[in-house]
Amino acid sequence: MQTKEQFHNLISCTVPRVAVAALAMAILFALTMVLTQPAQAQTFTVIHTFTGPDGAGPVAGVTLDAAGNLYGTTADGGTVFELKRWHGNWVLNNIFKFNGNNGAWPQSRVVFGPDGALYGTTYEGGSGNAGVVYSLRPPKTNCKTALCPWTETILYQFSGGSDGAHPGYGNVTFDHARNLYGTTTGGGAFGQGIVFRLTPSNGGWTESVLYSFSGGRYGSEPMSGVILDEAGNLYGTTPYGGGGCGIGCGTVYQLTPGGSGWNYSTLFWFGGSYGEHPYGSLIFDQSGNLYGTTSSGGSGGGGTVFELSGGWFYLLYALPGRGNPGPVASPTMDAAGNLYATTYSDGAYGLGAVFKLTPSDGGWIYTSLHDFTNGNDGMHPSGDLAMDVSGNLYGTTYEGGGVWEITP
């Protein structure tokens, strides 16, 4: 049986250069019956394990191209890689290696831009050692082997000051005008991170700081990127700040373009049973509703999966956790409305899990797809999942350094 509560958060303060909207938001807290199913008959396969020379420590997830090839980064190894199907096997091609000057420690996933190039960020490196935004393009001529290096273009180098510092896990994203958006965990006017836009200009890129996080009730240190709706509004999360607990257990925020800048609104403060510390990004469903995860909190202490819809907050599922960190990445949704995500250290062995949430009779059924065992399957998945047209899931594990596939 579901119950609901309603309460209001009123945000009313002004941050320099950005008009902060006052928002009274009603929250619907739906406590669902905890329904759990055992693991289905999935096939879990490790398709590559990094050994050090070929990369190490993939923090981010992978991205699929139209041919089903996978692209990703290794944070500790400082590489961008391609996994390509080659005569029935997966072949790794390290398409780029960072050297510090051109970026270092890539934590974000690479994504395809509107021009077909790969785009991403690094946490460190560049002239200010505060990270870079980059693009990668394949060779102009066809390679005669499977191993072909790509060419990097640095779009922007952060100085570590008011222009931002240290982009985190978040993907970059594009609007219809091909402007690029992202976040940094530090820098800005208050040293708490920024939301930025890069605009193509005369063969280069010009940065605009759309918002500087000030901490406190307005959130701080965004680890994830932003997503855009059709009206050009931006949405994201911060793992800290807000009014929910102590130093703040995180926020969901919105940035709306206005005549004199961007208007900032806090849509939700996290704390306690609603979940705490959202590290992952948000996703939209086909109706424009927002979904996300928190890494801790909830009734079981293992984080939550939530929905924001029509001004209401819905708690979809609270993970048991047993004191272990839960999801640190965004969920993935299939065409049927099922949600898929990972936990960093939950699961049967406390080393992370891949799970599915299926809507059923007003609640959600949890199904374990794989529990990591600290064996050859790796442990501690932290990146977003990718799903192909056949429903196969792809992801990474940070420790044990692997790329894996789950086939229904």
User: pLDDT digit string (tens) for 90-146?
Assistant: 999 999 999 999 999 999 999 999 999 999 999 999 999 999 999 999 988 776 665
- Say yes or no to pLDDT of 28 above 90: no
Domains of the chain with CATH codes = 35-71+87-96+178-407 (2.130.10.10), 72-86+97-168 (no CATH)
User: pLDDT digit string (tens) for 314-352?
Assistant: 999 999 977 678 999 999 999 999 999 999 998 999 999
User: pLDDT digit string (tens) for 52-84?
Assistant: 999 999 999 999 999 999 999 999 999 999 999
- Say yes or no to pLDDT of 43 above 80: yes
With cut-offs at 50, 70 and 90, classify the pLDDT of residue 158: very high
With cut-offs at 50, 70 and 90, classify the pLDDT of residue 4: very low
Instruction: Report CA 81 to chain centroid distance, whole Å.
Output: 19
Q: Which residue has the tokens 């089903």?
A: 68
- Give the Å distances, CA to CA, from 287 to 28, 309, 337, 349, 376: 18, 9, 11, 37, 40
Quick one: pLDDT at residue 242? 92
Total-model pTM? 0.90
- Say yes or no to pLDDT of 11 above 50: no
Quick one: pLDDT at residue 88? 85
With cut-offs at 50, 70 and 90, classify the pLDDT of residue 33: very low
- Say yes or no to pLDDT of 23 above 80: no
Q: Which residue has the tokens 């909830």?
A: 298
Quick one: pLDDT at residue 31? 36
